[in-house]
Every structure is written in C-alpha cells, then in structure tokens.
Chain A
Amino acid sequence: MKTFNYTIIDELGIHARPAGMLVKTAKDLDSEITLTKGDKTAGASKLMMIMGLGVKKGDTVVVTIDGGDEEKSYDVMKDFFESNL
C-alpha cells in the first residue's frame, strides 16, 4: 500500500469537472484508489462520493493506492493531482 498527501491549489477545489476526470483516470488503473479528507473516505472511481467529500482549495487529501501495479498507479495519480488540482 502506498499513500501521498496532496493540498489542493485549484481555486474551485475538486468540483464536477476534475472529479469526472479523476474517476476516468482511476478506473483505468488496476489498483484500489481511495481519497480521504478528514474522517471521510471515498473510492476514486465513485463520482458522487468524491464530489460528496466537498474538497476545497487548501484542503489536504490523503490518496491511498492499494494492490495491482502500485508503483505505476502512484505515479499516475500523483501526476494527475499535480497537473489538475
């Protein structure tokens, strides 16, 4: 299992558009990916749950990658957050 923390710099936070992109990206990976904000956790392939986290600019989320090609999934997710959020 691998994890990283990411603090959102996008003005709008994880709104519908990046949430949709995140779901697409996560579904293409063979690892189980989850996002945690505070005491709430959502699977990265679940659009409404992710939007339901209400992640805003300045919030820190913990991204957890479990199973499958963790090395690759980690890089893809890290790159996704850095370039989109």
Chain B
Amino acid sequence: MEWLRSALLPPQGSAFAGEIDFVYMFILWLSIVLFVGIVGAELYFVWRYRYVPGRPTPHQTHNTKLEIIWSVLPLLLCVGLFFWGIDGYMKFAVAPGDAMEVQVTAKKWLWQFEYPDGTRTVNEVHLPADKPVHFVMTSEDVLHDFYVPDMRVKRDVIPNRYSEIWFTPTALGEHVSTCAEYCGKGHSDMHAKVFVETKEKYEEWMATGGDEWMKHTPEEWGKIQYEQKGCATCHSLDGAKSKGPSWKGIWGKMEKLQGGKTVLVDEAYVRESMLQPQAKVVEGFEPVMPTFQGLLRENEIRGLVAFIKSLK
C-alpha cells in the first residue's frame, strides 16, 4: 500500500510522520469500506428494485434492533478513533526537555529563525537529523501558520502570544515549510526551506553561521554584529564615554592600560579584547566585559575588526 500512501501524502520527514500516516491510512481504508458499502447498497437497490408498474411496496416503518445496531456500531468505532487520535496528538503536545529551541518570528511575509547562540536566518532553517527541535513562535503583525507538510506539523503563529511546535526530523535533505493561515498578498509565497543535515554538516554550518556573512562587506557585517551581539550596550560610536571605551577613532591609538603600560589598538589587541577582555583593561574602566569566546565566529570577529577600523 506504500504506493497509495505516497500518492496521497507527502514524504515522511519526521519521527511521527509514519505514525500519523498509519492513522490516516486506517481511516482511509475504513472510509473506503463504508463508502463501498453505502454506494454499493444504493446502486444494488436502484437496480434490484427499479420501477415496475403497479408493484406494491411493503409498509416497513422501522426496525428498532437494526437501528440500535447502526447507531451503536459507528459510535464504538468513533470512540476507538478518538482515543487513537488523542494518543497521536498528545505525543507531540509537549516538547522533550533536551530539544533544541529555535525562536521563530513571522511577519508579512517572511520567517525569521533564531538559534540558541543568537545566529539568525531568514526563510531557511538548518536542523540536525534525529535530534528533537522545538520551535517557539510569535508573529509581528497578523496571524500566520507554520506548516511543514513533510513533518506533519502545523500551528498558528499569533501576535502577542507564543505558540509552540516540536518534531524530530529524520529524513535528510530539503523540506518546505509554508504559511497555512491566510495573511494577505504574499501568503502563498511565504515559504521557508527546512534543511535536515547530518550532525557533521549541521555543525559545520553552525560554525560558519551559514552564508549570510558572504552577502555583506566585512564592515557591514561587523556593524550588524555590533548591533546584534550587544556591543552597543557599552561601546559608543560617537566618542561618548560609557561602560567601555568608545570605538570612535580608537583604531591605531596608543591606549593607556591599568598598571601603567600602553598598547597599540590593532587587530591583535582588538581580537584579544573580545576573547580575553580581562587581559588588558584600559585605564579608567572597570573590568566588566564578559568573554565572547565561543559566541563570535571567525567571520564575525573579522567583521568587527573591519568595522572598528572604519570608524575614523
């Protein structure tokens, strides 16, 4: 029956797709049996009892036994299906604790994904195979709906609310997510690509943060990191003193350090300040900066260096 399943349903991309498809196929066969029964009886009666002039018909008003049977049997069937349906539903009602959490923001008409480490992507999401993933979703404008047919998951994305979805992707390759709640002009173009990758490939992608950085000049990329990674909280761009030295005109300067030494602000020093900020603290500032070791990728560090360099 695999041919029928694959004709009627999309490929199975998640751990519970098989289970849901099994229920689907069961109901399908049940329906086919009932349908053939009903329409078969209809056609048979139409042929067998076709009109003959003057033939009298029996006066059968009811048959209590029969009527009880055909009320109770479907009821039992429905009760069975109900529990089966709940069973399947409840399995993916609550995400397991070790699931990777991805924040999803929907707006007209794109999907934005944010990973635990702050990496952001638009209209594409990369997932490691066989590891549960938990999407926490909200909308910035109207209702949307995150639907990945291959994963058999779907949930409305609502402004001012968080809705959740989780699944364990199993099938490697590219899958499509679509918006399933009408949201206007771009509704039917609001797709995101869901890449399910091997652990190695996924980690490689994570290490480079995707290819978004290649679309920008290093200076632009650095500015994006400055805004997204929280540098702006302590380092101003206009010379104003904050918790940390301003970046304006800092490049190439000789900075006086705590303890009296001086240091040239060059690539080596800037890089060191990001990864080991306590090593050389500029005079007049508290040693409060956290380390960004592991939080900044190589391309991001290079971008930040280029950005600082550009601030004359």
A and B found bound together: no
**Interface residue ranges, B against A (CB under 8 Å):** none
Chain A positions near chain B (C-beta within 8 angstroms): none
